[in-house]
Amino acid sequence: MERAAVIVAIDGPSGTGKSSTSKAVAAQLGLSYLDTGAQYRAITWWMVNNGIDTDDPTAIAAVAGKPEIVSGTDPSAPGISVDGTDVAGPIRTQEVTSKVSAVSAVPEVRARITELQRSIAAAAENGIVVEGRDIGTTVLPDADLKIFLTASPEARAARRSGELKGADLHTTREALLKRDAADSSRKTSPLAKAGDAVEVDTSDLTLQQVIECVVTLVEEKQAGK
């Protein structure tokens, strides 16, 4: 039986499981996948690589339209490039992570990336899972399903320090909270739960349980379309 195309928005703070969940749900249901954090990381990487002062919003705004960012939407191999260079690895460095909140707070950057995100979602014939911070509130306010993932700072720090091969738990927790605070307090399109989003606290759930929960919610939406 052919399934209805659905647009799914998954938002939430860092380390709540957005990427892992979104990729698995998209793969399981044959949907496209878009990692919007990777796009903000890619434009931040370009700024750093081109010597733009990431503490200067005017300098960032002046060049926000220059880099060409191409995002893959295959959940099993998403990929991302800037001006033809594969940046999937470089966008995960500590330097980019520490600067991405400042760059993504600049309205000209958000306008550029939001437009790109909307065009990618519109082109996804079988539907798409789009994950980020402002997808349900700003980018795709008419999404068929909106999920807001949360988890305690302790759970999120433990997950991240596991990923970073045993990085200090306290330092990891503080860095996560600092980034969340910056992302939640910016003027333009902050990290926020949409009024009609389903909140899922993943603190005490395994990744598999979260995936099953979201797959069920998506299938219910598809059945009702």
Ligand X SMILES: Nc1ccn([C@H]2C[C@H](O)[C@@H](COP(=O)(O)O)O2)c(=O)n1
Regarding 179 and contact with ligand X (CB under 6 A), the answer is yes
| Percent composition of the chain: helix, strand, coil (DSSP 3-state, to 5) | 50, 15, 35
* Binding mask of the shown chain, residues 163 to 182, with x at each position contacting ligand ATP by CB under 6 A: x-------------------
* Closer CB to ligand X, 135 or 157, in the complex: 135
* Closer CB to ligand ATP, 50 or 206, in the complex: 206
Q: Which does 222 bind (CB under 5 to 8 A by kind): ligand ATP, ligand X, none?
A: none
Burial 94-120 (b: 16+ CB within 10 A, else e): eebeebbbbbbbbebbbebbbebbeeb
19 is in an annotated binding site: yes
Regarding 104 and contact with ligand X (CB under 6 A), the answer is yes
Position among 178, 206, 216, 220 found at the interface with ligand ATP (CB under 6 A): 206
195 is in an annotated binding site: no
Burial 57-89 (b: 16+ CB within 10 A, else e): beebeeebeebebebbbebeebebebeeeebee
* Closer CB to ligand X, 64 or 100, in the complex: 100
**Euclidean distance between CA atoms 178 and 29, whole angstroms:** 35
DSSP state letters, 35-65: EHHHHHHHHHHHHHHTT--TT-HHHHHHHTT
Position among 16, 32, 73, 101 found at the interface with ligand X (CB under 6 A): 101
15 is in an annotated binding site: yes
Position among 6, 7, 18, 222 found at the interface with ligand ATP (CB under 6 A): 18
The count of residues interacting with ligand X (CB under 6 A) is 15
For residues 23 and 33, the answer to whether their CB atoms sit within 8 Å is yes
Hey, which residues between 32 and 51 contact ligand ATP (CB under 6 A)?
Answer: 37
Position among 14, 21, 137, 222 found at the interface with ligand X (CB under 6 A): 14
**Euclidean distance between CA atoms 25 and 149, whole angstroms:** 14
* Closer CB to ligand ATP, 101 or 222, in the complex: 101
Residue 123 burial by Cβ neighbours in a 10 Å radius (0-12, 13-18, 19+):
exposed
Report the relative pairing of strands 85-86 and 80-82 from DSSP bridges: antiparallel
Which residues contact ligand X by CB under 6 A? 14, 36-38, 40-41, 100-101, 104, 132-135, 179, 183
Which residues contact ligand ATP by CB under 6 A? 12, 14-20, 37, 159, 163, 202, 205-207, 210
